[in-house]
C-alpha cells in the first residue's frame, strides 16, 4: 500500500514526513536552460538508473498528460512550480510505491525526495541518505570543502536538506490558537507553509512545518530540531482536542453534521470536501466517529482531489461534473468497508 494511504502512531496530528535533498552535478552548470545540456543531464542520469536501483523509472513531464502531472502534485510528490515552469524540460525518477520521487532539472539538477506516513524523520532520512550516496557515487556531485553541497539557491547550500512534516491542526483552529502556536514555533528556525509548500495557503487545517537553515548544521541536528518542534505542536493540538471534547455534544454534533453532509450530498466541491474531511478525520482520531476507518479517510483525502478523482474513475470531467462525481466517489469509499 502506498505511503499516503497508511497511518502510524502519530498520524492523528502528523500526517506525513518528507525528506528532500538538493544536489547538482559537478560537470554541469547550474540552472540549465540549453536543450542539449538538459538532454545530456537526462542521459547521464538514465544511464546510471540500473546501478542506483530502488525500482526507479524515468519519465519526462512533457510526455505525461495533464491529469497525471496534477495527480502527482496533489500527492505532494512534485511541486506545482515544477509543472508550471519546467513542463517542457523537467523529468522525474519515481518508483511504483511512490515513496521515492526525484525531480530533475528543477531549481537544482536533482531534488531527491523520500516520503513516509506519520512522523518518521529518522527512517525517512536514513533511506534518503542511502539513495543519495548511490546517486552521488554514480553521477558526481558539486561539493565545496568549505560550504558543503552547492545549490542554485544560497538558502539550500550546506546539507541541501529540507525536512518537512505535514500536520493536521483542527482543534487549534477551532479554539482560535493556530496563529499563536505557529508564530511561536516560527521563531525556532522553521517555516510554516500550506499543503503544497511555499506561497500556498493551508486547506482543511493542514500545514507543512520544515527547517529553514541548511548551512552550519548537520543533517542529524536539523532533524532533531524539527522533531522537537513538531512534537511540541502535536502536544498543543492534543491539548486543544481535550478542551474541545469537554463540550462533547457540540463536538459530536459538528463531526456528525460534517459526516452527514459528505455522505449524503449529490455534488460537492474539492474545497468543501477538504473542510468537512478535517472534521471527519478529527472524529475518527478521537474515536467519536466509528462509521469510517483511517484507511477510508485517507482514501477520501486522496481520491476527492480533482486530478486523482479523475484517475480513480478513469474518465475526465469538467468542474461541475467533477463535483457530482466526487459525491458519488465519497459514497463508494464510505460504503466499501
Same domain? 301 vs 324:
yes
* Percent of the residues in the chain that have a pLDDT greater than 90, as a whole number: 80
Position 199 scores a pLDDT of 52
CA distance 334 to 167: 24
Strand order, beta sheet including 110-117: 57-60, 91-94, 100-104, 110-117, 14-23, 161-168, 206-211, 190-193
Q: What's the average model confidence in pLDDT over 106-119?
A: 96
Q: Higher model confidence: residue 33 or residue 308?
A: 308
Pick the last residue of a domain from 239, 257, 275. Answer: 239
CA distance 117 to 4: 6
Same domain? 166 vs 286:
no
Same domain? 231 vs 253:
no
Same domain? 230 vs 268:
no
Per-residue confidence band for 32, with pLDDT thresholds at 50, 70 and 90: confident
CA distance 153 to 74: 25
Same domain? 72 vs 142:
yes
Per-residue confidence band for 294, with pLDDT thresholds at 50, 70 and 90: very high
Asked if pLDDT for residue 242 goes beyond 70, the answer is yes
Distance in angstroms between the alpha carbons of the first and the last residue of the chain: 16
Same domain? 119 vs 220:
yes
Same domain? 270 vs 215:
no
Instruction: List pLDDT tens digits, range 50-69.
Output: 889 999 999 999 999 999 99
Total of domains in the chain: 2
Asked if pLDDT for residue 197 goes beyond 70, the answer is no
Same domain? 161 vs 84:
yes
Same domain? 307 vs 222:
no
Position 141 scores a pLDDT of 95
Instruction: List pLDDT tens digits, range 138-195.
Output: 999 999 989 999 998 888 889 999 999 999 999 999 999 998 988 888 878 898 987 6
Same domain? 50 vs 198:
yes
Same domain? 86 vs 168:
yes
Same domain? 199 vs 285:
no
CA distance 223 to 12: 21
Domain around 212:
3-239
Which CATH number do you get for residue 153? Answer: 3.30.590.10
Asked if pLDDT for residue 337 goes beyond 70, the answer is no
Pick the last residue of a domain from 182, 213, 239. Answer: 239
Amino acid at each position: 500500500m502506498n505511503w499516503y494511504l497508511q497511518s502510524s502512531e502519530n498520524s492523528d496530528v502528523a500526517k506525513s514526513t518528507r525528506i528532500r535533498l538538493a544536489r547538482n552535478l559537478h560537470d554541469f552548470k547550474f540552472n540549465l536552460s540549453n536543450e542539449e545540456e538538459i538532454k545530456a543531464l537526462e542521459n547521464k542520469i538514465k544511464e546510471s538508473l540500473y546501478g542506483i536501483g530502488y525500482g526507479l523509472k524515468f519519465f519526462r513531464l512533457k510526455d505525461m498528460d495533464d491529469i497525471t502531472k496534477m495527480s502527482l502534485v496533489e500527492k505532494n510528490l512534485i511541486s506545482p512550480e515544477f509543472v508550471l515552469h519546467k513542463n517542457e524540460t523537467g523529468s522525474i525518477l519515481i518508483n511504483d510505491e511512490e515513496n521515492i520521487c526525484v525531480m530533475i532539472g528543477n531549481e537544482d539538477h536533482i531534488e531527491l525526495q523520500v516520503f513516509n506516513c506519520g512522523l518518521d524523520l529518522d527512517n525517512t532520512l536514513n533511506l534518503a541518505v542511502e539513495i543519495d550516496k548511490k546517486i552521488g557515487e554514480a553521477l558526481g556531485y558539486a561539493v565545496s570543502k568549505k560550504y558543503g553541497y552547492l545549490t542554485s539557491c544560497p538558502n539550500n547550500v550546506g546539507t541541501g536538506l529540507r525536512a518537512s512534516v505535514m500536520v493536521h491542526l483542527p482543534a487549534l483552529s477551532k479554539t482560535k490558537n493556530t496563529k499563536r502556536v505557529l508564530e511561536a514555533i516560527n521563531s525556532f528556525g522553521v517555516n510554516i507553509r500550506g499543503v503544497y509548500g511555499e506561497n500556498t495557503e493551508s486547506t482543511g487545517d493542514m500545514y507543512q512545518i520544515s527547517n529553514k537553515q541548511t548551512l552550519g548544521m548537520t543533517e542529524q541536528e536539523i532533524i532533531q530540531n524539527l522533531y522537537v518542534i513538531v512534537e511540541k505542536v502535536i502536544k498543543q493540538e492534543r491539548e486543544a482536542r481535550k478542551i474541545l471534547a469537554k463540550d462533547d455534544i457540540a463536538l459530536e454534533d459538528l463531526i456528525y453534521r460534517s459526516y452527514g453532509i459528505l455522505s449524503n450530498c449529490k455534488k460537492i466541491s474539492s474545497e468543501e470536501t477538504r473542510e468537512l474531511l478535517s472534521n471527519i478525520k478529527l472524529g475518527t482520531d478521537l474515536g467519536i466517529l466509528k462509521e469510517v476507518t483511517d484507511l477510508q479517510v485517507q482514501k477520501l483525502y486522496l481520491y476527492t482531489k480533482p486530478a486523482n478523482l479523475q484517475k480513480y474513475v478513469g474518465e475526465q470531467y469538467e468542474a461541475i461534473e467533477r463535483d457530482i462525481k466526487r459525491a458519488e466517489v465519497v459514497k463508494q469509499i464510505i460504503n466499501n468497508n
